[in-house]
């Protein structure tokens, strides 16, 4: 390991960056250096821009992926190498605003019927019933399920923050049935080598269940989280409550779901209807 890589890892650990973020930053910094066959310490902002264009134009990578590279090099140069450059020298690529895929409640229940394993079904139901990210669901431990207070403790979610979410009575019944069948000692959803289930294996189970269900929409574990938030909004739950349940630091992130709430759309009266209702001709009829 080079001294620069070691220093970058130390800088990330001191700032308590998530392990996945650390792996991502090291990956992109290494690819950047490999492309120019030089240490990043010997490269300039011009090289950063050239490589960014290479990722966009030659490799045709998504804006989200290119922005991960930008974040990695920004940390490398401004923090680890302490270059006297501003953040404005590391512009992010504009990303298209897309709407999340949302299942109806009937589709959710139909989907669960086709999850082939009791363990995976319980884990995916947890993603939907509590609005958890896949990384949060697979890392749940037995003590995190508090049936006395009817809450689930989410430890170190995104942004290294703990939070509580509601524990559905129906979900509690599912989790108890799973526990009686498997008796997991620590992790609620164990994987191999005494660790917890991997996020990848849960996503694979989700993909298989979507195929078996025949639902045409693209479904991932995160789709269940999107559906959780949208269904709460449509049932009249306050947006700030949903923000807390999802673990969003900004209300603007949660407000994104107002764009896909069907009830908000169909219950909004068109100005054409109000205009015609006030028309004298319409009243005579």
Q: What is the CATH number of the domain that holds 139?
A: 1.10.443.10
Q: What is d(CA 186, CA 264) in angstroms, rounded to the nearest whole number?
A: 42
For residues 28 and 156, membership in a common domain is answered with no
Last residue of a domain, one of 55, 89, 123: 89
DSSP string, 173-198: HHHHHHHHHH--SSBSSB-STTSBPP
Split at pLDDT 50, 70, 90, the class of 31 is: very high
Q: Does residue 172 lie in a domain region?
A: yes
Q: Does residue 278 lie in a domain region?
A: no
Q: Is residue 225 annotated as part of the catalytic site, yes or no?
A: yes
Q: Does residue 271 lie in a domain region?
A: no
Q: What is the tens place of the pLDDT at every residue in 68-127?
A: 999 999 999 999 999 999 999 999 988 877 778 889 999 999 999 999 899 999 999 999
Q: Does residue 72 lie in a domain region?
A: yes
Q: What is the pLDDT of residue 278?
A: 73
Catalytic residue selected from 25, 28, 128, 257: 257
For residues 59 and 18, membership in a common domain is answered with yes
Q: Is residue 158 annotated as part of the catalytic site, yes or no?
A: yes
For residues 51 and 138, membership in a common domain is answered with no
Q: What is d(CA 210, CA 191) in angstroms, rounded to the nearest whole number?
A: 22
Closest CA to 213 of 106, 102, 99: 106
Position 183 pLDDT exceeds 70: yes
Last residue of a domain, one of 89, 121, 144: 89
Position 265 pLDDT exceeds 70: no
For residues 71 and 181, membership in a common domain is answered with no
Q: What is the pLDDT of residue 240?
A: 87
For residues 84 and 215, membership in a common domain is answered with no
Catalytic residue selected from 7, 47, 222, 256: 222
Q: Does residue 96 lie in a domain region?
A: no
Q: Tell me 215's DSSP state.
A: -
Q: Does residue 200 lie in a domain region?
A: yes
Q: Is the Cβ–Cβ distance between 243 and 144 less than 8 Å?
A: no
Q: Is residue 222 annotated as part of the catalytic site, yes or no?
A: yes
Q: Is residue 210 annotated as part of the catalytic site, yes or no?
A: no
For residues 80 and 109, membership in a common domain is answered with no
Give the structural domain span for 127: 105-265
For residues 85 and 166, membership in a common domain is answered with no
For residues 70 and 198, membership in a common domain is answered with no
Catalytic residue selected from 74, 121, 196, 248: 248
For residues 148 and 239, membership in a common domain is answered with yes
For residues 133 and 233, membership in a common domain is answered with yes
Q: What is the pLDDT of residue 8?
A: 96
Give the domain CATH number at 46.
Answer: 1.10.150.130
pTM of the prediction?
0.71
Q: Does residue 51 lie in a domain region?
A: yes
Catalytic residue selected from 163, 210, 225, 226: 225
Q: Is residue 259 annotated as part of the catalytic site, yes or no?
A: no
Number of domains in the chain: 2
Q: Is residue 183 annotated as part of the catalytic site, yes or no?
A: no
Q: Does residue 70 lie in a domain region?
A: yes
φ/ψ of residue 276, rounded to 5: -70, -35
Catalytic residue selected from 119, 133, 196, 231: 133
For residues 130 and 247, membership in a common domain is answered with yes
Catalytic residue selected from 114, 153, 158, 207: 158
Greatest alpha-carbon pair distance for the chain in Å reads 85
For residues 130 and 81, membership in a common domain is answered with no
């Amino acid at each position: 390991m080079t001294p620069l890589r070691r220093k970058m890892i130390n800088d990330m650990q001191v700032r308590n960056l998530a392990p996945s973020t650390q792996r991502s930053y090291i990956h992109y910094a290494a690819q950047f250096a490999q492309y120019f066959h030089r240490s990043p310490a010997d490269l300039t902002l011009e090289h950063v821009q050239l490589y960014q264009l290479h990722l966009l134009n030659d490799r045709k990578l998504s804006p989200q992926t290119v922005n991960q590279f930008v974040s990695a090099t920004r940390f490398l140069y401004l923090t680890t190498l302490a270059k006297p450059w501003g953040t404005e020298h590391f512009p992010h690529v504009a990303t298209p605003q897309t709407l999340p895929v949302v299942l109806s409640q009937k589709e959710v229940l139909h989907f669960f019927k086709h999850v082939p394993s009791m363990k995976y079904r319980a884990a995916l139901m947890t993603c939907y019933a509590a609005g958890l990210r896949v990384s949060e669901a697979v890392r749940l431990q037995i003590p995190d399920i508090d049936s006395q207070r009817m809450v689930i403790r989410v430890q170190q979610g995104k942004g290294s923050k703990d939070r509580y979410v509601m524990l559905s009575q129906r979900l509690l019944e599912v989790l108890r049935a799973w526990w009686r069948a498997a008796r997991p000692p620590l992790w609620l959803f164990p994987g191999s080598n005494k660790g917890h289930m991997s996020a990848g294996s849960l996503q694979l189970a989700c993909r298989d269940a979507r195929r078996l269900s025949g639902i045409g929409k693209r479904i991932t574990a995160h789709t269940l989280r999107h559906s959780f938030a949208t269904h709460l909004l449509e049932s009249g739950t306050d947006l700030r409550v949903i923000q807390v349940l999802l673990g969003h630091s900004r209300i603007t992130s949660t407000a994104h779901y107002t764009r896909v709430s069907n009830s908000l759309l169909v219950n909004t009266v068109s100005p054409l209807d109000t205009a015609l209702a006030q028309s004298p001709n319409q009243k005579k009829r």
